[in-house]
Amino acid sequence: MANLPGMAVTPVVDSAQLERELLRKSVDALRADRDLCHDCGRTPLVGERLYHYVGGRVACELCRQLRREQPERSELVHSAEYGHCVRLTRRTRVA
């Protein structure tokens, strides 16, 4: 097929290479959105508490026992679906 003026040339990409690149990008995106324990490096489970300390350090429930200082705040780890559910509301009658 001849190149026509003004037409972009699309390079041929190996499908396995494309799949690896898409997987790498999605894993990097997921990693950027999660909190990791500063001490053990693991991702806390859904339902577990995360403890936030001065300086932005985060500790999981297991590693919190190793720290002497009190956390600034704690938060519950939610699933990815949290906040995206359908909630029932009170129905109003339309006359």
Per-residue model confidence as pLDDT tens digits over 34-65 = 778 888 988 888 899 999 999 889 999 999 98
pLDDT value at residue 84: 73
Structure tokens at 34: 């999660």
Q: What are phi and psi of 22, to 5 degrees?
A: -65, -40
Tell whether the model's pLDDT for residue 9 goes beyond 70: no
Tokens of 80: 């990815």
Query: Domain locations in the chain?
Result: 35-95
SS3 57: coil
Q: What is the mean pLDDT of the chain?
A: 82
Q: Which residues pair with 73 in a beta bridge?
A: 52
pLDDT at 70 over 90: yes
pLDDT at 83 over 80: no
- Does residue 8 register a pLDDT over 90? no
- Cα dihedral: 27, 33, 39, 42 (round 10): -50
Q: Taking the CA of residue 70 as centre, how many other CA atoms within 13 Å lie in the half-sphere pointing to its CB?
A: 2
